[in-house]
Structure 1
Amino acid sequence: MKIVVVAGGLATRMRPITEEIPKCLIDINGKPLIQHQLEFFKEHGYTEFIFNVAHLAEKVEEYFGDGSEFGLTIQYIDEGEELRGTAGSVKLDEDLITEDNFIVFMGDNLTSMDFDKFIEFHQQKGGVATICMRPLPAGYQSSSVITLHKDKRIKVFLEKPPMEEIEKYKDEKRFINSGIYCFKREVFKLIPPNTKYDFAKQLFPDIMKKKLGIYGYVTEEFFREIGRVEKYDAFLKEIRDKKKFL
């Protein structure tokens, strides 16, 4: 199964670090962030990748090439200067994906989750999309609202609604979107071409509205999102002296 790595953002929240290197290449214990994740994927039998790049795209291609030096197969989609949103970016991969299902992974994530179980869950449920999510920790303030039905269908998905809307769900069990998705290939039909289109703001609500099936896969396995300088600094302290953390 192919894995799409979304790595084209400007990474403004990681400046000045990302002024000269893309976020997916920031150093984690002597290796680029995304290399740690790719090595984890390879250990578990996932070797085919599509990198969606834009900001400093040439540096990613220079480092990984076609992936053969790492025992991988890597293709690239360069968005250029026209950033298209997360879903709009993945729409560009349509001709490169021929299998019935594929995974989308954000390039600033690190996780040791069991992807075999994630895919099995997605296929058993039979929906167009499955979102990997984590329980919202007690006392944690999230700007989004995600709740589930008993069968794990997504019940409520609100991306950065007004605070008064969030308050309505304060007593419900809520979850955090991990930015890891499994899709049926037919999802491409739902994403308009040449348009800025986002998973959370547009695609997922559209799937829910059309009742095409969107589910939440809940895991508490290791996960870190390195999207801000303070998160990066904290993670470096967390894994200090560890050669392997995935």
Structure 2
Amino acid sequence: VKVGGKPLLQWVVEWLRENGVTSIVMGVAYLKDHIISYFGNGDRFGVEIKYSIHTVQGGTGEGFSLAIDRYVSDDTFFALNGDQITDLRLGSLLGKHIEKSAIATIAVVHPRLPFGLVKVDRHDNCLGFLEKPILKERFISTGVYVFDRRITRYLPRRGDIERVTFPRLSRFHKLGAYRHPGSFITVNSLRELEEAENQLKGNHLN
């Protein structure tokens, strides 16, 4: 998927580099040959890239588990899903992770509804409209994380960390949250692609 004339994953790699990340491990499954061919060893993007191949069926649990076992030696490291464009500063996320002494910390944002709301009274009168509001009382995950190496004890060999790992960590109060105040968008649909293009044109994420 291209956004603003560049593959979405290139935006992610360049954002990581701008945040001081110089070594990247990409977990690849679907379209792995195209991804490896495009990014190579990362030299032309100013980073070092290694690849950890996993199966689509194994989910994010297998993907993260294999990548960490094969290539990650640090005690603390960033992890992400790779389908987002954001102005998140990784240093701020890391600071919150250290403050919380968590095993994992998730960057979260207030969600924006993809549709408008209609205010209706008890007599079924329409009182007003609110176009695509931001829900200030709720949060969603950005898919950007900091992991402590202890995360490996909680990663499933098959399945998704969002459904297996994070609920377990939250029960032990070892899952922290960093409230990102800036911009964030995923690109998983044509509507989100159009929104990302519009935000980039307005320099909200560039």
Q: Tell me the TM-score range normalised by the shorter chain.
A: 0.7 to 0.9
Once the 2 structures are TM-superposed, how far is the Cα of residue 212 of structure 1 from its aligned partner? 5.3
The answer as to 2:152 corresponding to 1:188 is yes
User: Among residues 63, 83, 101, which one is paired with 1:89 in the alignment?
Assistant: 63
Question: Structure 1 unaligned runs (5+)?
Answer: 1-25, 142-171
2-side partners of 1:138 and 1:27: how far apart? 24
* Change in 2 beyond 3 A, CA 1:139/1:84: closer
Give per-residue Cα distances to partners, 1:22-45, cap 9 Å, x unaligned: xxxx22222211212222221231
**AA matched with 1:173:** E
Question: Structure 2 unaligned runs (5+)?
Answer: 117-135
**2:74 match: secondary structure:** coil
Once the 2 structures are TM-superposed, how far is the Cα of residue 74 of structure 1 from its aligned partner? 0.4
TM-score (norm 2): 0.81
**AA matched with 1:223:** F
User: Among residues 197, 209, 214, which one is paired with 2:175 in the alignment?
Assistant: 214
> For the Cα contact (< 8 Å) 1:53–1:79, is it kept in 2?
yes
How many equivalent pairs are there?
A: 186
**AA matched with 2:189:** R
Once the 2 structures are TM-superposed, how far is the Cα of residue 62 of structure 1 from its aligned partner? 0.4
1-side partners of 2:99 and 2:115: how far apart? 31
1:1-246 matches, within 5 Å, as 26-80=1-55, 82-95=56-69, 96-137=71-112, 173-193=137-157, 196-209=158-171, 211=172, 213-240=174-201, 245-246=205-206
* Change in 2 beyond 3 A, CA 1:139/1:108: closer
2-side partners of 1:239 and 1:115: how far apart? 20
TM-score (norm 1): 0.69
2-side partners of 1:47 and 1:77: how far apart? 17
1-side partners of 2:138 and 2:201: how far apart? 32
* Change in 2 beyond 3 A, CA 1:208/1:245: closer
Give aligned-pair identity as a percent.
Answer: 25
2-side partners of 1:120 and 1:241: how far apart? 30
Once the 2 structures are TM-superposed, how far is the Cα of residue 230 of structure 1 from its aligned partner? 1.7
Larger Rg: 2
1-side partners of 2:38 and 2:144: how far apart? 24
> For the Cα contact (< 8 Å) 1:134–1:218, is it kept in 2?
yes
Once the 2 structures are TM-superposed, how far is the Cα of residue 208 of structure 1 from its aligned partner? 2.3
> For the Cα contact (< 8 Å) 2:24–2:48, is it kept in 1?
yes
* Change in 2 beyond 3 A, CA 1:100/1:175: same
